[in-house]
Structure 1
Amino acid sequence: MSIEFAVRGDYIQLDQLLKAANLVTSGGEAHAAVEAGQVKVDGKPESRKRAKLRPGQRVRFGGEEVVLVAQA
């Protein structure tokens, strides 16, 4: 399943996105998922918890895919 997420401003940090998209319940859970290699950005494992993500990128975690779009 794919979720569209509107990015306010230029970017959103990966840990903040996971929380805002309700894929995790806390920042600690987001950090643990990234550290465990469970999060992919544009098809590649992402190890930076605070990676800056921009519209057009895709994040996959726990069977969900989040597509980042620019806020209208």
Structure 2
Amino acid sequence: MPSLDYIKLDQFLKQMQVAASGGQAKVMVQSGEVQVNDDIELRRGRKLVNGDRVVVAGQTFIVDLRALS
């Protein structure tokens, strides 16, 4: 499998099973429910890289692209 340089925020939320669908991920992001590296992120296409910290619904996730590929 090719290695990933990044993953988009909405795809990451689906991978982590925080959002059941892309539509749900979009709503979560656009309503300000998601933080990336301590900042509220309103762009669902935000590119996440290794080590980025995503906080949503009281859960914290550290991006590890090797685990996702």
TM-score, with normalisation over the residues of structure 2? 0.88
CA distance in 2, matches of 1:45, 1:21: 18
Shift of 1:51: 0.4
Unaligned residue ranges in structure 1 (runs of 5+): 1-7
- Counterpart CA distance in 1 for 2:66 and 2:10 is 19
In structure 2, the gaps of 5 or more residues are none
Residue matched to 1:67: 62
Alpha-carbon distance between aligned partners in 1 of 2:65 and 2:24, rounded to the nearest angstrom: 26
1:66 alignment partner AA: F
Q: In 2, distance between residues paired with 1:44 and 1:29?
A: 20
Aligned to 2:50: 55
- Picking from 16, 25, 39, the partner of 2:34 is 39
Q: When the two structures are superposed, what TM-score results if normalisation uses the length of structure 1?
A: 0.85
What fraction of aligned residue pairs are identical, expressed as a percent? Answer: 38
Q: CA RMSD in A?
A: 1.3
Query: How many matched pairs?
Result: 65
Which structure carries more strand by proportion?
1
Quote the residue 1:19 is aligned against: 14
Higher relative contact order, chain-length normalized (CA < 8 Å, sep 6+):
1
Distance 1:70 1:22 in 2: 16
